[in-house]
Structure 1
C-alpha cells in the first residue's frame, strides 16, 4: 500500500505574541486580551487517511484544534495522499500487459483457423 500512497507531515509553530512583537503591536495588544479570544482551527480533508496528529479532535477527515493565542502552540499532523505518479505507472504497465495478452490470444486464434 505504501507504493500507492505517500505520507506528508505538516509541522508548524504558532506564536502570536512573538508575531505581534515583530509587527510592533506587542505593547498595544495585552496578553490578557489574547487569552479571551477563542480561536479554533479546523482542517477538513476529502479523504480519511490522517495519521499521527495533535489535534483536539478527529472526526473522519476533519481535524480540530482549540488554540490559546496567548502562548506558543505546536500543530502537527500526518496525512496519506495517493501517489499519482506510481498509480499512473502501475496503470500503464497493466494496460500494456493486457494489450500484449489480447494480441497473443488473437494471433493464436488466427493460427488455429488457418491450420
Structure 2
C-alpha cells in the first residue's frame, strides 16, 4: 500500500497496480475510481454514493458493504489470484469509464436542459 498524495501523473502510477481498493465511508462522485477504470483496473469499493453508480458489481469490479473489510480482503485476494478474471474485469472497467467522458456527459446535460425547457413552455 502506498499513499502518494496529490499527483498529476496518475496514469503511469495506476499502470503499476493490479486493482483499486476503495474503502470509503462516504463518497460523492468518485473520480479516482473512474481514473483507475480508464486505466483498465477493476475497482473494489464500498457500496456507497457514486461508487455504486460507477462500479458494476461483478463486471467492472466488486462492491462490498461499508466497514466489511473481511469481504474487501477476500475479494482482493480472489482477484489477485485470478489474473484472467482481473484482466476481463479491467477491460470491462475501461469500456464503462468511457461512458463517463466529458463529451457524453455534456451532451446528456444539453438534452436534459432542452427537454426541461420544452416542457416548461407547454
Q: Same fold (TM over 0.5)?
A: no
Higher strand proportion: 1
Bigger relative CO (Cα 8 Å, ≥ 6 apart): 1
Q: TM-score, normalised by structure 1?
A: 0.27
Q: TM-score, normalised by structure 2?
A: 0.26
Structure with larger Rg: 1
Higher helix proportion: 2
